[in-house]
Amino acid sequence: MDKKSNSFNKLIFYIKNSRIKRVFTDPLGLLGFLLIFSLLLIAIFAPYITTYSPSDIDIANRLTPPSSNHYFGTDNLGRDVFSRLIFGSRIALTVPLLTISFGIILAIVFGLIAGYSSERIGNIFLIIFDIIKSFPALLFAMTIIALTGSNLFILIIIIGITRFPAYARLIRAQTLRVKNKEYVIAARAIGASVLKIMFKHILPNVIGPIFIQAAMDIPVVITFVAALSFLGLGVPPPTPSWGTMIKTGYSFIRISPWMVIFGGIALIWATLGFTLFGEALRDNLDPRLNRTR
């Protein structure tokens, strides 16, 4: 048997025997996974599903109700709502993933430093995390984006910064727990550098719970991005995004309510999927984090 299929078998063996399996046998976890997975397929195969280009403007047919031509009707510029929703799934998935990845990177760096350094320096870091957390995140993001103009890069940086203190606190707490374990002391004794100890010996042992926390944070960030887009401060037009579509629908809510309805369904699809899946992950993989069941 060649090496590749061997490692594949190992992976299957691992999944079969690990607690991951429980996430998928939990009915709500499975439902969450299916919602996310279908969304992923929709995002990947968007051009094959849609019947119109999401940016084709057709002023003559603006704000038309759902029909066999336009399944979900058209928006104020005559663009096909169905196609824009389908393509909107791409932004809805990528922006939160990039945001949370950025937040995790920040958290790893600052959380490890805060946990590994002396208690005094650690406390200073904690205060800094608290300061960032004490900002009302939405107002803060609104202000900065209004000043700089909305673009995706800034959006990701800002939301990443507002989310990272929670992960960093978790990493710090975990680091405190392991930093006096034998293997760390041993590494220090044989003269390993601080960087090597932090990233090679401590990091792999503290990173686990962050992923669960991050998974539970995805719906929060999806909502956050959609809320900012709803205020006209998120994903810049003409990129199709659900928040912007709900905003447009809101402006024309008395004439054509379907934009709000279909955009809302899409948004709930995503947040519900990630919430269910995230909670199943937490309940089955890290019972310590479980506080509500």
Partner 1 sequence: MIKYILRRLLVTLITVLGAIIILFIIIQFLPGDPATVMLGPRATPKIIEEVRAKMWLDRPVYIQIFKFLYNIARGDLGTDILNYMPVRRLIFNALPHTIALAVSSILIASIIGIPLGTYAAAYKNSLIDKITGLLSISMIAIPSFLAGVLFLLLFSIYFDWFPAMGGGKEGDILSQLWHLILPAASLALGWIGYIARIMRASVLEEITEDYVRTARSKGLREYTVIFKHVLRGALIPVIAVIGVGFGNLLGGAVITEIIFHRPGLGTLIYNSIQSRNYPIVQGGLIIAVLLYSLVNLMADLSYSLIDPRVRND
Q: How far is CA 8 from the centre of its chain?
A: 28
Does the footprint of partner 1 cover residue 142 (CB under 8 A)?
yes
Which listed residue (276, 282, 284, 285) binds partner 1 by CB under 8 A? Answer: 276
Q: Is the previous residue joined to 238 through a cis bond, with omega within 30 degrees of 0?
A: yes
Does the footprint of partner 1 cover residue 155 (CB under 8 A)?
no
Return the half-sphere exposure (C-beta side, CA atoms, 13 A cut-off) of residue 60.
0
State how far the Cα of 243 lies from the Cα of 235, in Å rounded to an integer. 8
Does the footprint of partner 1 cover residue 144 (CB under 8 A)?
yes
Which listed residue (231, 239, 252, 286) binds partner 1 by CB under 8 A? Answer: 231
Does the footprint of partner 1 cover residue 267 (CB under 8 A)?
yes
Which listed residue (134, 180, 190, 191) binds partner 1 by CB under 8 A? Answer: 134
Does the footprint of partner 1 cover residue 26 (CB under 8 A)?
no
Does the footprint of partner 1 cover residue 116 (CB under 8 A)?
no
Which is nearer to partner 1, 127 or 189 (by Cβ)?
Answer: 127
Range list of β-strands (E), 107-235: none
Any idea of the CA torsion for 99, 100, 104, 105, to the nearest 10 degrees? -30
Does the footprint of partner 1 cover residue 143 (CB under 8 A)?
yes
Does the footprint of partner 1 cover residue 249 (CB under 8 A)?
yes
State how far the Cα of 55 lies from the Cα of 71, in Å rounded to an integer. 16
Which is nearer to partner 1, 106 or 276 (by Cβ)?
Answer: 276
Does the footprint of partner 1 cover residue 151 (CB under 8 A)?
no
Closest CA to 167 of 93, 218, 100: 100
Does the footprint of partner 1 cover residue 34 (CB under 8 A)?
no
Return the half-sphere exposure (C-beta side, CA atoms, 13 A cut-off) of residue 25.
9
Q: Tell me the window of 64-72, 110-118, 146-154, 207-215 that interacts with partner 1 (CB under 8 A).
A: 146-154
DSSP-derived secondary structure letter, 74: B
Q: Cβ of residue 76: shortest distance to partner 1, in angstroms?
A: 16
Amino acid found at 222: I
Which listed residue (156, 271, 281, 282) binds partner 1 by CB under 8 A? Answer: 271
Does the footprint of partner 1 cover residue 288 (CB under 8 A)?
no
- Distant-in-sequence, close-in-space partners of 225: CB < 8 Å, separation ≥ 6: 91, 92, 95, 96, 99, 155, 159, 234, 235, 241, 243
Site residues for partner 1 per CB under 8 A:
28, 127-128, 130-131, 134-140, 142-144, 146-148, 219, 223, 226-227, 230-231, 246, 249-250, 253-254, 257, 260-261, 264, 267-268, 271-272, 275-276, 279, 291-293
